[in-house]
């Protein structure tokens, strides 16, 4: 007796596999960002296979603010987050139809001296 599999086997909790071509708008938006804002501080860039969003992570609040302004993200869209040892800024925007997540590290925690604040390099 032989068994023929006619449908792909997937884990029940595994997300749908996306096609690489679905990232084309993200890559095109990234290329446009480089052309238009190449003079801004260099971000750490993230792309995720489960999302068509672009992440830009900056190592200081100042760099975050420059990008926020360039992308015309409203100041009231900025949120601050913290964990036990870190604090950061985040805001969501859209550039050329692509969701952009800005994150700015290097915030000083209450009780921490500015010169002791860790900055992500």
pLDDT in tens, 62-97: 999 999 999 999 999 999 998 888 899 999 999 999
Whole-number pLDDT of residue 22: 85
Strand partners, 54: 47, 100
Q: Domain map of the chain by residue range?
A: 20-109
Separation between Cα atoms, residue 48 and residue 44, nearest integer Å = 13
Please tell me whether residue 95 adopts helix, strand or coil conformation.
strand
Separation between Cα atoms, residue 57 and residue 34, nearest integer Å = 15
Sheet holding 79-82, edge to edge: 44-47, 54-58, 98-104, 87-95, 79-82
Tokens found for residue 114 = 């500015």
In which band, very low, low, confident or very high, does the pLDDT at 21 lie, cut at 50, 70 and 90? Answer: confident
Q: Are 95 and 33 in contact (CB under 8 A)?
A: yes
Supply the pTM of this predicted model: 0.76
Bridge pairing between strands 54-58 and 98-104: parallel
pLDDT in tens, 23-70: 899 999 999 999 999 999 999 999 988 888 999 999 999 999 999 999
- pLDDT of 121 > 50? The answer is no
């Amino acid at each position: 007796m032989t068994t023929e599999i006619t449908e792909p086997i997937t884990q029940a909790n595994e997300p749908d596999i996306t096609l690489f071509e679905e990232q084309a708008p993200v890559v095109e938006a990234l290329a446009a960002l480089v052309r238009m804002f190449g003079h801004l501080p260099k971000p750490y860039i993230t792309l995720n296979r489960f999302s068509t969003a672009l992440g830009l992570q900056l190592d200081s609040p100042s760099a975050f603010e420059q990008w926020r302004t360039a992308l015309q993200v409203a100041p009231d869209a900025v949120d601050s987050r913290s964990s036990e040892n870190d604090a950061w800024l985040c805001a969501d925007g859209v550039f050329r139809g692509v969701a952009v997540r800005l994150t700015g590290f290097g915030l000083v925690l209450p009780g921490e001296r500015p010169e002791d604040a860790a900055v992500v390099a």
